[in-house]
Amino acid sequence: MKNRIVLFAFVLVSFAFSSRPSSALQQKPSTKKANFEIGYNEAWFGNDYLYSMIKTFDINYVNKVFADIKSSGGDIVRMYLFQVRQGLVINQFAPQTAGIDPVMFANIKSMLDSARAHGLRVYFTLHDADAMPAPPQSELRDYYFNLIHNKFGEADAFNANVMTPLLNLLSQYQDTVYGIDLANELSAAIKNQYWGLFDQFDGPRRWLKSMRDFIRTQAPWIRVSCSAMNTADVEGGLYSDLGLDFYDVHIYNDKGEIPYFYELCDIVHKTGIPIIVGEFGQLGQNVDDALQSSVTLNLLNNAKNQCFSGAIAWRFDPADVVYHYQRSDGTLRPAVDVIKAFKAGL
């Protein structure tokens, strides 16, 4: 989400995965989930999107945020890792991916220790597709293109030098890791033509499957997904039959409705693969306690009363100027009471 208005433009891009209109059948519930889980997106600490796990990492801030998330009804915290190559050691020549910065590696471990101490499970997002540059060519765009297509062996280097040590570390925290999101809102990378104009369905699926298959060989216990900004992407089959362990959709509107919920639940019931709302929030850009509270309550009720297994609110940190659930003075907005009351009623 990242509080950037441009992201909402991506809603327009559904790549013709389905010609059916968004379902208006919110009143037609499926079987309830007894083990519905709730969390908050922290994503990055404070307002440092680029370096909060390296240059500005502060374990005292981490401990406070995690304690506050737990006391605010959260059991899951979603965190980004390598957005815009944060924490990666990059060589000048391809393959460029040489490893994880030792400082980053140590901070991931410290963050996991904090999450464990506060009774939270961490949902890691590897890449942020929203930050993968659009044309024209640039050094960063070339890197991501090579990574996605394993050009010059870039994906092999990333898997060997980054994913293997990361998965080995996470294996020490199996009680604390919720799962891995391969890329935040993959439709952004599709829109930015990382698979060209004529391979926008099968191309992303090949990349997802290759990443999912590699993780399974190294750490079969870890649940893997890839988050979708458009529920239509999941409904249209972009994420189907790839070995993903759960689906993750992101939903922003001012009513707390779930587009395509009926079709999504049909997929879940037929495949047995769970689905969560990995991000949710209002669409309006004004700080509005009443709107945030109503969206939060409606979304949670709609998700629970349908086939969803959980929902993760965007975003806890007060540095987010619109979507924050905690104010900069440390007090909590009314929507936190909505979440706590909802959790108490599960």
**Model confidence over 225-247: pLDDT tens digits?**
999 999 999 999 999 999 999 99
What residue numbers bound the domain in which 145 lies? 34-344
Instruction: Report pLDDT digits (tens) over 156-210.
Output: 999 999 999 999 999 999 999 999 999 999 999 999 999 999 999 999 999 999 9
pLDDT, position 187 = 97
Do the domain assignments include residue 24? no
Name 304's Cβ contacts closer than 8 Å, sequence gap at least 6. 32, 33, 36, 346
| Residues pairing with 252 in the sheet | 281
Query: Per-residue pLDDT for 28 more than 90?
Result: no
| Residues pairing with 281 in the sheet | 252
Cα 192 off chain centre by: 19
CA gap 231, 244 in Å, rounded:
16
- CATH number for the domain harbouring residue 89: 3.20.20.80
| Residues pairing with 177 in the sheet | 122
What region, left, alpha or beta, does residue 283 occupy, with left being phi > 0 and alpha being psi -120 to 50 degrees? alpha
Do the domain assignments include residue 27? no
Do the domain assignments include residue 55? yes
Query: Per-residue pLDDT for 9 more than 90?
Result: no
Do the domain assignments include residue 45? yes
By percentage, how much of the chain surpasses pLDDT 90? Answer: 90
Cα 215 off chain centre by: 17
Beta carbons of 197 and 239 less than 8 angstroms apart: no
CA gap 40, 313 in Å, rounded:
5
Do the domain assignments include residue 23? no
Do the domain assignments include residue 21? no
- Give the C-alpha distances (Å, rounded to integers) separating 311 from 40, 110, 207, 250: 8, 25, 26, 9
State the chain's mean pLDDT as an integer.
Answer: 92
What region, left, alpha or beta, does residue 330 occupy, with left being phi > 0 and alpha being psi -120 to 50 degrees? left
Instruction: Report pLDDT digits (tens) over 126-168.
Output: 999 999 999 999 999 999 999 999 999 999 999 999 999 999 9
Say how many domains are in the chain. 1
pLDDT, position 34 = 52
Beta carbons of 40 and 86 less than 8 angstroms apart: no
Confidence of residue 16 (pLDDT cuts 50, 70, 90): very low
